[in-house]
Structure 1
Amino acid sequence: MELVSVAALAENRVIGKDGEIPWESIPEDKQQYRARIAAHPIILGRKTFDSMREDLPGTAQIVLSRSEREFDVETAHLAHTVDEALNIAESLGDETVYVIGGGKIYELFQPHLDRMVLSRVPGEYEGDAYYPEWDEDEWTLESETTYDDFTLQEWVRV
């Protein structure tokens, strides 16, 4: 199973502010993001899950949460630890599982990632959620595609 992180981040690694993206929506980025993760399981935090309830992406949602609770969504799986989330992901039998946030979730799964697909949004923004730093010696920039309002980078762990 390949574990892939997908995120949109500003030059200062900001990914969110008050549960929202701090820049104006970029439809082309949203479209490629949704298409990429649509047919695969995703791992996300409870707050991110709650913010997407009206339009949940992925074939299954593995929700990492410290709280004891059930989800009224048939495709949602509750995990309390990173290992539990990875075991659930493995049990689903998909070749690829995507990690889609928020900030703490990206940080927890960073050591386990095989690949990162990052939409780099120009500019620096104020925020309260950040994508974690990574050691570029452990990663290779495999591809970079420039769009009008963002640059899509694919990083692979060495």
Structure 2
Amino acid sequence: MELVSVAAVAENGVIGRDGDLPWESIPADKRQYRRRVADAPVVLGRRTFESMREDLPGSHQIVLSRTERAFDVDTAFHASSVDEAVAIAESLGADTVYVLGGAAIYELFQPHVDRMALSRIPGAYDGDVRYPEWEESEWRLALSEQWDGFTLEEWVRRIR
């Protein structure tokens, strides 16, 4: 099973401010992101899950939280660790699982992800949430594609 981190990241590493994006919405990015994760399970933190409740991404949502919670959403599952989240995804028969954040979830999964799909947003933004730093030499840039308002980069982890 492949773990893929998906994020929109400004030039200075910022991914959020006060629970929202610090830049104007980029419709093309939202469309490609939604298409990418539509048929697969996604892993996200509780706050990210709550912020998306009106329009949940993915086929199933694996909510990583230290606190056991029941969700009134049939497709949502609670996980208390990275291993438990992966086990749930495997039980769903997933070939690919997408990690959607927030920052603490990205940080926990960074050593485990096989691929990153990063929407690079031009400009530096003030924010209180950053994408985790990673050692570029451990990754290979497999795709860099210019879109309207951002550049989509796909990074693949080199063999360990």
TM range (shorter): over 0.9
- The aligned counterpart of 1:138 is 138
- The aligned counterpart of 1:20 is 20
| AA of the residue aligned to 2:7 | A
- The aligned counterpart of 1:33 is 33
SS in 1 for 2:6: strand
**Mind listing any 5+ residue stretches in structure 1 that lack a counterpart?**
none
Alignment RMSD (CA, Å): 0.6
Paired residues, number:
158
Report the identity percentage.
68
1:116 aligns with 2:116: yes
Shift of 1:91: 1.2
Post-superposition Cα deviations, 1:80-111, rounded to whole Å, max 9, x if no partner, equal 11111111111111111000011110010000
TM superposition score normalised by structure 1: 0.98
Shift of 1:68: 2.2
Distance 1:13 1:30 in 2: 19
- The aligned counterpart of 1:55 is 55
Runs of 4 or more above 2 Å deviation: none
| AA of the residue aligned to 2:77 | H
1:11 aligns with 2:28: no
Shift of 1:148: 2.6
SS in 2 for 1:112: coil
Post-superposition Cα deviations, 1:21-73, rounded to whole Å, max 9, x if no partner, equal 00000000000000000000000000000000000010000000111221111
